[in-house]
Amino acid sequence: MIDKGIILAGGAGTRLDPLTRAVSKQLLPVYDRPLIYHPICTLMRAGIRRFLVINTPHEQAPFRRLLGDGTQWGIEIEYAVQPSPDGLAQAFLVGRSFIGSDGCALILGDNIFIGDTLERPLREAAMREKGATIFGVQVERPRRHGVVDFDRQGRVVNILEKPVDPPSSVAVPGLYFYDDTVVERATALRPSARGELEITDLNNAYLADGLLHLEPLSDVIWLDPGDSDDLLDAGIRLRELQRDQGPIGDPTVTARDLGWLP
């Protein structure tokens, strides 16, 4: 079972400038909680209790002040630095010593997942011993994301990064589970035309070996607050949902629900 998870919380957050000039995007509030609380809760629901938070060199202190070592939530949190934002797949090179010879999950520090049906596919992905698991969400603007290309039988044949002409409306959100070959595969990647180690290339490497699993998230809300409008909309959405459902994205509540706290 995968019990390690990386939260990638680097990047400049340029689309949220000037909010992100002094504060990391992942530390910004989404209604009543810091954005990074949500990916922590998502991985906790997968059964993951060992975390590596990767951020920029100048933002280590505020993350440590906010999250500590995780013991208050029954988890362990370590920290590492991504010197420059050279692609999502770089997380596995930065986190090489943390991962060791194990499998690992990766979630982007600005992705929010909400839904009662989310835990089952997360647990199944964490239990999968071989291959990689990605998730599929129907979106209105697939050009902004990695997009799944299917054949006529509905099988995945390719993952395309922000295509001009998307072959489907199924996007791949920033949540991935990988087996114990992930560091080796990430090491073998070459920078794309953008000069980055692309997570899409990593996923396609698993696909080429017949080891990529796609789990649809049909009843799950996915929020990706990339700009000011998205951030505001996400906060309003969370306020409305919490009025009916109670706290969302609260690691203390999640830990108690999982029986990790007395």
Q: Model pTM? A: 0.95
Pairing of strands 175-178, 212-216: unpaired
3-state secondary structure of 87: coil
Residue 241 is given by DSSP the state: H
Give the confidence band of 240 by pLDDT, cuts at 50, 70, 90: very high
201 pLDDT higher than 80: yes
* Least confidently predicted of 19-23, 31-35, 78-82, 245-249: 19-23
What domains lie within the chain, and their CATH numbers?
4-119+174-213+221-257 (3.90.550.10)
Residue 61 to residues 24, 41, 79: CA-CA distances in angstroms? Answer: 11, 21, 10
> pLDDT class for 23, splitting at 50, 70, 90?
confident
Sign of the C-alpha dihedral computed for residues 178, 179, 183 and 187 taken in this order:
negative
Give the mean model confidence (pLDDT) for residues 125-135. 97
Contact in structure between 75 and 152 (CB atoms under 8 Å): no
Q: Is 173 helix (H, G, I), strand (E, B) or coil?
A: coil
Residue-level pLDDT at 2: 96
H-helix or E-strand spanning residue 218: none
Residue 163, C-beta contacts closer than 8 angstroms, at least 6 positions apart: 142, 143, 147
pLDDT category, 39, cuts 50, 70, 90? Answer: very high
Q: What is the pLDDT of residues 54-76, one digit of tens each?
A: 998 889 999 999 999 999 999 99
